[in-house]
Amino acid sequence: MAPEIHPFVILFASVFTGNILLTNFLGMCSFISISKDMKSANGLGLAVTVVLTITSAANWVVLEYVLIPYNLVVYRYIVFIVVIAATVQMLEMIIDRVSPALYMSLGIFLPLITVNCAILGVALFMQIREYNFWQTIAFGFGSGLGWWLAIMALAAIQKKVSRAPVPSGLQGPGITLITIGFMALAFVGFSGMLNVQ
């Protein structure tokens, strides 16, 4: 229940204190495999932010005007997934038509995003916390920015780690997870500032 929280507060909270990746563990799969170089991390982060903002708004509209009036909330998982897949597909076609240059840098990441848990996670959180339209947009956009920030930071750290003497058993995913752990620890420091659930 969150009718009184200002959208800007939600935006801030979803970037820092309630970072979707570091506190809710969402979007890990592509996060770990892509975070190896800065350039693709940047592309994926941008794509996630764009898709999250658009799909969270689209899902809110579908939830509010179709699922709730017709009492179909039980089927929200299927509906959200279909909305996300359709939005991503449309976005891919539009970008391809409008700007081939952008398509080259962004387009290849779009299909990956459909199965990114962060996108569905934001839609489900939005439903459970009963956000209104502007709160939903702020939450979607903020979560995207938070994810982008986290993947860029991790890619930068990974560059340093790649030259460090890591024990052979820890190389690869092991050290990545521990690095993410330290990042999460740093982000816990933000949580004293404000707490939005």
- C-beta closer to other proteins: residue 9 or 72: 72
What sign does the dihedral 126-144-14-191 (CA atoms) show? Answer: positive
* CA of residue 29 relative to chain centroid, distance: 12
Nearest to 28 by CA among 194, 189, 179: 179
Q: Which stretch binds other proteins (CB under 8 A): 101-109, 139-147, 150-158, 178-186?
A: 178-186
Sole binder of other proteins in the list 2, 9, 23, 36 (CB under 8 A): 23
Q: How many whole angstroms separate alpha carbon 159 and alpha carbon 165?
A: 13
> What is the smallest separation between the CB atom of 71 and other proteins, expressed in angstroms?
14
> What is the smallest separation between the CB atom of 23 and other proteins, expressed in angstroms?
5
- C-beta closer to other proteins: residue 95 or 180: 180
> What is the smallest separation between the CB atom of 88 and other proteins, expressed in angstroms?
11
Buried b (16+ CB within 10 A) or exposed e, 173-183: eebbeebbeeb
Which parts of 54-93 interact with other proteins (CB under 8 A)?
A: 74-78, 80-82, 85
Q: How many whole angstroms separate alpha carbon 29 and alpha carbon 135?
A: 27
Residue 46 found at the interface with other proteins (CB under 8 A): no
Number of shown-chain residues binding other proteins (CB under 8 A)? 47
Q: How many whole angstroms separate alpha carbon 17 and alpha carbon 13?
A: 5
Q: Which stretch binds other proteins (CB under 8 A): 18-26, 50-58, 63-71, 133-141?
A: 18-26
CB 25 within 8 A of CB 19: no
* CA of residue 65 relative to chain centroid, distance: 24
Which parts of 100-129 interact with other proteins (CB under 8 A)?
A: 114-121, 124-125, 127-128
What sign does the dihedral 142-133-25-195 (CA atoms) show? Answer: positive
Sole binder of other proteins in the list 9, 161, 184, 196 (CB under 8 A): 184
CB 152 within 8 A of CB 44: no
Residues of this chain that bind other proteins (CB under 8 A): 22-29, 32-33, 74-78, 80-82, 85, 114-121, 124-125, 127-128, 167-170, 173-178, 180-182, 184-185, 188
